Chains A and B, each alone.
Chain A
């Protein structure tokens, strides 16, 4: 038994070290900086949209242009949390200067999840440290990251379309994305007998301090920040039952920043949250939920109407 424990300890560390070395090689792409700079200089972007996959499904840069006449750059994908956003914003500023407005999609689980290594790799921030004694099993502790890596390896074996959203060039395709059609049955519309609910993880959580740093930076840069609470299907809201707590937490965090404005669309009087066709997944028992193409169209109309005021020329 002692031998087994010893070998488990050694192999666990050894294999994890091998995996992160492979990840470092796999994700690093020196062409990102150059191609990004080229892309960003092509248009005068006034708005920077940040967030996770929920923001990616919700915000349509095209609507910003047609309704407000503003060029918006979206940098939102699954695994792009506050830590990634911080490094991205620093990089963005170097390439294009600070934007006029930052639109930031707020998730219920914003302080619960971590930024993914594959995105951090573009700023050389992947696995910044290897701490062999930080957990009894590094393989189990980092299981989700290993799984993500495996999914990416599989995606790279596939065709070009699969890779497009996962590669370092993902930002090119992301600008034209207009949402996914509703798939019947994907949204859980029936409340299960034993509803699995999700507690809210408050600030600072896993990457909260990076959001705080961003808020400070945006204040210094004179950027107007719009924190948008994206609508969730009613079942998801019941699952994420500590909505009030999350809102209070967010308000407390942004106190003292006059440039920050919170818009809550996750209210039944702000958005039709009971209409399943406005979402393509989520529902009862599902903590994560994304707007469908139809839902995103409506959401963008409602959103842009409200935030237009921030683009009005100063009197």
Chain B
């Protein structure tokens, strides 16, 4: 069920009325039932998969606490991981790895052809699988006790605002959040509605409009010249508004219900470096990858090297390099079973590695050209370079295939055909408007002048914003991009 639909509006209206009317001890049940009803619009099969996977991970976590020997614990843990990942591997990656294996076999002239399973991808699978796995690893590592109440655990996995596109909240934080006593709070309702309205604006008034230009440019890159570069830049904003728009709606809904979801975006395109970008973009995924993939790999590499250096390179540098490349390549693959995503992830891995290697050299260079005396200019240059690097990687993310992505990049030139000039100018104005509004939206609460304004005037500003959304909204009925991941 799409958040931006009449069907969802009715669903949310009914749920909220019921949720605040029933006694506190039954609220979890109400939300759990609502989450499953919400997800059932994707089909009955997906509900069964969600329920089975939830139960198996729940049982595995309890099993971990009861296992008496380390060997037994490890066995239960592996079984739990397999249960949590089974759906993801089968429905998302079976054909990708199948093709890969058969292609490898083809090298040895095995003469066999892979017949794709053709299983349809299940929306939300990547997100809830990562939630389940993080929970299991946390229990295995002793960071948290296994949840005894199946209902609360099932609610954590299937909590409908987060189910389809995250944030991938951690059990250690979110299960206690779900257990707290909540009651109707007008301020939370108001701020939740504000956030939802902001998310809807980002999706239907910005992202969907920018998509018109982006789709055009990516569909026919021939003779587009400089438009291709603008296409990549505008796609960066499209995907940001699309994804963060969804996240804002999800966080807003949780807030109305009385729960605080984790933050997922912090104006990522204002980042001055790639590591900073990943601390501001899809935070729930990047921290997940850091905690459950990068750190274990890096520690393992460190342990394997055993000496302070290898080939005159510090063991820590090896650990970081190997860890970061593997983590981000897999992070890319998490987005989709295609080489474009693998390359997207690998590019970011290389960026982060290079960023780490060149850190001292860059600082020295800045001092030598005396840029450190002009902090504002330095910041602007850093933001510009980071944005360009990120936009370059987005080309691989957006393109239909690797060949298409490379062809897209090759065709960028200084030539500027007139055909799409109007649309480009409009899109640039829209992005500028969006940046201005985002600065307003994120900071207005901190301004003393805003706080002094009487409530009716603040309401007037919100009403004006809603009218602006109505004017700019595009009735494109586009799905959120991350629904596919």
Interface residues of A (CB under 8 A from B): 3-4, 7-8, 10-12, 15, 19, 137, 139-140, 143, 146-147, 153-159, 161-162
Given contacts A4-B459, A8-B466, A162-B419, contact A157 B471 (CB under 8 A): no
Q: Which residues of B have CB within 8 Å of A156?
A: 422
CB distance from B219 to the nearest CB of A (A): 11
Number of interface residues of B (CB under 8 A): 22
Asked if residues A159 and B471 are in contact (CB atoms below 8 Å), the reply is no
Asked if residues A155 and B471 are in contact (CB atoms below 8 Å), the reply is no
- CA of A19 to CA of B472 in the docked complex: distance in angstroms? 12
Q: Which residues of B have CB within 8 Å of A161?
A: 418-419
Q: Which residues of B have CB within 8 Å of A8?
A: 463, 466-467
Docked complex: B462-482 residues within 8 A CB-CB of A:
462-464, 466-467, 470-471, 473-475
Asked if residues A158 and B423 are in contact (CB atoms below 8 Å), the reply is yes
B472 nearest in chain A by CB position: A150
- CA of A3 to CA of B190 in the docked complex: distance in angstroms? 13
- CA of A153 to CA of B429 in the docked complex: distance in angstroms? 13
| 23 residue pairs bridging A and B, Cβ less than 8 Å apart | A3-B456, A3-B459, A3-B460, A7-B456, A7-B463, A7-B464, A8-B467, A11-B460, A11-B463, A11-B467, A15-B471, A19-B471, A137-B470, A139-B471, A140-B470, A143-B470, A146-B471, A154-B426, A155-B422, A157-B426, A158-B420, A158-B421, A161-B419
Interface residues of B (CB under 8 A from A): 418-423, 425-426, 455-456, 459-460, 462-464, 466-467, 470-471, 473-475
Asked if residues A154 and B471 are in contact (CB atoms below 8 Å), the reply is no
- CA of A140 to CA of B462 in the docked complex: distance in angstroms? 17
B460 nearest in chain A by CB position: A7
CB distance from B1 to the nearest CB of A (A): 16
Q: Give 7 nearest A-B pairs by CB, closest first.
A: A158-B422, A7-B463, A159-B418, A157-B422, A139-B470, A3-B459, A154-B422
Most buried by A among B421, B462, B471, B474: B471
Q: 15 new A-B pairs (CB below 8 Å) besides A4-B462, A140-B470, A154-B423?
A: A3-B455, A3-B456, A3-B460, A7-B456, A7-B460, A7-B462, A11-B460, A11-B464, A12-B467, A15-B467, A143-B470, A154-B426, A156-B422, A158-B420, A158-B423
Tally A-B pairs: CB < 8 A.
Answer: 63
- CA of A159 to CA of B470 in the docked complex: distance in angstroms? 28
B473 nearest in chain A by CB position: A143
- CA of A146 to CA of B470 in the docked complex: distance in angstroms? 10
- CA of A7 to CA of B462 in the docked complex: distance in angstroms? 9
Q: Which residues of A have CB within 8 Å of B462?
A: 4, 7
CB distance from B189 to the nearest CB of A (A): 10
- CA of A15 to CA of B472 in the docked complex: distance in angstroms? 12
- CA of A11 to CA of B467 in the docked complex: distance in angstroms? 7
CB distance from B45 to the nearest CB of A (A): 16
B470 nearest in chain A by CB position: A139
Q: Which residues of A have CB within 8 Å of B418?
A: 158-159, 161
B459 nearest in chain A by CB position: A3
Q: Which residues of B have CB within 8 Å of A3?
A: 455-456, 459-460
Asked if residues A157 and B460 are in contact (CB atoms below 8 Å), the reply is no
From B419, B425, B464, give the contact of A157 (CB < 8 A). B425
Q: Which residues of B have CB within 8 Å of A11?
A: 460, 463-464, 466-467
CB distance from B457 to the nearest CB of A (A): 9
Most buried by A among B420, B462, B463: B463
